[in-house]
Amino acid sequence: MTRILMVCLGNICRSPLAEGILKSKLDHAKFLVDSAGTASHHVGSSPDHRSVEIAKRNGLDITYQSGRVFVKEDFKTFDYIFVMDTSNYEDVLNLAETQKHRDKVSLILNKIFPDEDMSVPDPYHNSIDGFKQVYEMLEESCSVIAKELEKS
Ligand code: 4NP
């Protein structure tokens, strides 16, 4: 089983979408996809209603998800950790204790814009259009991730 974790700040907007999108592209018998946030404000919360709506428009149900915080143990559990922005990247790396764990972490948009270190914008204070843009970026990145994982 290969395990992939998607990480953002609140685990209610971006990473739940990334989890839902990647999960829909992979064989559930071989891959486990989860998500978490670096902050604890939304622990136990359902995904933001705008992420739920965008997911639904694209045939995905993410309502089963529940917010949780990223913990050190996740470095052991997961093989790949994709973060949404540079601030999440720093927060997650600050918890890493070994190079092996640091090597598991990467910015998700580097899958489509290699080495550019671009961030998926935080859509929380934006309109539904912001969520639509986030969905499109994540869809493209997750297509690349899924192809690479299925090959490996
Ligand atoms: P996310 O978005 O990190 O994509 O889940 C946010 C959700 C909540 C907050 C910030 C970003 N907040 O400040 O509560």
Answer whether residue 152 shows pLDDT above 90.
Answer: no
pLDDT, tens digit (0-9, with 9 covering 90-100), for 93-144? 999 999 999 999 999 999 999 999 999 999 999 999 999 999 999 999 999 9
Taking the domains of the chain in order of start, what are their residue ranges? 2-151
- What's the DSSP call for residue 17? H
Backbone angles phi, psi at 107, to 5 degrees: -75, 130
Share of the chain above pLDDT 90, in %: 99
Give yes or no: 8 in active site. yes
Q: Say whether 122 is catalytic.
A: yes
CA-134 nearest atom, ligand 1: 4
pTM more than 0.85: yes
Q: Is 127 helix (H, G, I), strand (E, B) or coil?
A: coil
Residue-averaged pLDDT of the chain:
98
CATH 2.60.120.260 matches 2-151 = no
Predicted pLDDT of residue 83? 99
Closest-lying ligand 1 atom to the alpha carbon of residue 11: 5
Per the DSSP assignment, residues forming a β-bridge with 36 are 7
**13 alpha carbon – ligand 1 mean position (Å):** 6
**Helix and strand element counts for the chain (H, E):** 6, 4
Q: Quick check: is 142 catalytic?
A: no
CB 64 within 8 Å of CB 71: no
Locate 22 and state its tokens.
């990647």
User: Which of 8, 11, 12, 38 has most ligand 1 atoms within 8 Å of its beta carbon, as the pocket-test mutant?
Assistant: 12
The model's pLDDT over 36-57, given as tens digits with 9 standing for 90+, comes to 999 999 999 999 999 999 999 9
